[in-house]
Amino acid sequence: MAKKNRHQPSAVTKPDTDDFYHQPGTIPGTIIIDADAPPSTIVLIDYNQTDAIHKQVETPEECAPYLDTESVSWVDVSGLGSEDILQRLGQVFDLHPLVLEDIVNVPERPKVEDYEDQLVIIARMVMPKKKKNHGFHSEQVSLVLGKYYLLTVQEEPKRDCFESVRSRIFKNKGVIRKQGADYLAYTLLDAIIDGFFPVLENYGEWIEDLEEEVIMKPTRRTLKKIYRVRRDLLQLRRAIWPQRNAINSLIQDRSEIISEEVRIYLRDCYDHAVQVMDMVENYREIASSLMDMYLSSLGNKTNEVMKLLTVVSSIFIPLTFIAGIYGMNFNTEKSPYNMPELNWYWGYPVCLALMAIIAISLLFIFWRSGWMTNDSIVDNSKNSSNSK
């Protein structure tokens, strides 16, 4: 089923930079091939109620015979580094040049667009990295939904969150083999949304650890961690916010490609997206409050240092005063009032004893006043444990 494309989009090689935008005056439909993008691989899954096949194909043209049959054909393309395969893919599926541009030129904002007999869904998929890294992997997933087929294009071929969907197809679990391509698109979208929850759980645990660290032992490294959490949560918000709106538009627009039954399932998917959005917003508020807690902890630490210095200074001020007086040069032969204690036999021990009594008395007074205990940090740690 090699269809004639509306027109052949041009392609350029993406320069080796972190940020790239179209040059002013670029022809619409121009696709940009990243020089570092992995080569494209194509996997075909075709199934009905009784049979399911799974094979890797070399060219997009091998998928053409399956696209007009009543069985559901899922063509999964991983990698955006093969210009020839992507161009021929656009011809086989009769993709509008602007659609192919949105698919290849990543990242695009999550959205839904209706092209007569096709629905184009741009989504953002996130997966957790190793727990010690406290990060997540994010990539764009593009879905092109037709009457009997679904085309998905992923940035990288490493891994995705669709294994559970593949397992349900091959093991014939649930109703997926009894439904059409629109139900398959729903299951993939639901898997993408559910993929946010493990990532947010990791960030929830990290925020709890940071809260304890901010209270007990804040450092400059703690400040860097807080900034990283806030930045990552902002990226998650930018991914889930338009994605929630895109799912809502699938429900409201009443496209003929999506059945009424699948719209009911999409409402559940929308609820999951709202839950993810609420979690992201809650964690962002907590992360913002961590900054205030960090500054407060630094203030408490500074107050404790100043308190210690004040105690030490208060003790040594009278001692310095006494030592200063007895360090003055007086002549007792001229007058009996010129420091007669200088001639005492026990004058030196008495002076040291007096200094010791003054120091101990001041320490007792400071202890009774609560200056000798770190009450502020103890109270904060108790309040933190009670809140948890």
Does 65 have pLDDT greater than 70?
yes
Does 265 have pLDDT greater than 70?
yes
Residues 11 and 137 in one domain: yes
pLDDT digits 0-9 by tens, 156-199? 887 788 999 999 999 988 899 999 999 999 999 999 999 999 99
The answer to whether residue 183 sits within a structural domain is yes
Q: Model confidence at 304, in pLDDT bands (50, 70, 90)?
A: confident
End-to-end CA distance of the chain: 60
How high is the pLDDT of residue 1? 42
User: What distances in angstroms separate CA 266 from CA 269, 336, 346, one per listed residue?
Assistant: 5, 103, 95
Whole-number average pLDDT of the chain: 82
Mean pLDDT of 128-152: 86
How high is the pLDDT of residue 6? 47
Q: Model confidence at 380, in pLDDT bands (50, 70, 90)?
A: very low
Cis peptide before 107 (omega within 30 of 0): yes
Higher per-residue confidence, 35 vs 380: 35
Lowest mean pLDDT of 61-70, 201-210, 310-319, name the range: 310-319
Calculate the CA 320 to chain-centre distance: 58
Residues 47 and 174 in one domain: yes
Identify the domain boundary among 155, 189, 223: 189
The answer to whether residue 198 sits within a structural domain is no
Residue 108: domain span: 1-189
Overall number of domains in the chain: 2
The answer to whether residue 349 sits within a structural domain is yes
How high is the pLDDT of residue 45? 94
Q: What is the Cα–Cα distance from 18 to 150, expressed in whole angstroms?
A: 31
How high is the pLDDT of residue 235? 92
Buried b (16+ CB within 10 A) or exposed e, 256-295: ebbeeebbebbeebbebbeebbebbeebbebbeebeebbe
Q: Model confidence at 332, in pLDDT bands (50, 70, 90)?
A: low
Lowest mean pLDDT of 23-27, 65-69, 90-94, name the range: 23-27
Does 2 have pLDDT greater than 60?
no
Give residue 379's region: left, alpha or beta (phi > 0; psi -120 to 50). alpha
Identify the domain boundary among 189, 218, 240: 189
Give me the CATH number covering residue 352.
Answer: 1.20.58.340
Give me the CATH number covering residue 142.
Answer: 3.30.460.20
Identify the domain boundary among 171, 189, 207: 189
Q: What is the pTM of this model?
A: 0.75
Q: Model confidence at 131, in pLDDT bands (50, 70, 90)?
A: low
Mean pLDDT of 95-123: 90
Higher per-residue confidence, 21 vs 18: 21
Q: Are 192 and 125 in contact (CB under 8 A)?
A: yes
Q: What is the Cα–Cα distance from 384 to 378, expressed in whole angstroms?
A: 10
The answer to whether residue 205 sits within a structural domain is no
Question: Which amino acid is it at 318?
Answer: P
Q: Model confidence at 331, in pLDDT bands (50, 70, 90)?
A: low
Lowest mean pLDDT of 70-84, 208-222, 303-317, name the range: 303-317
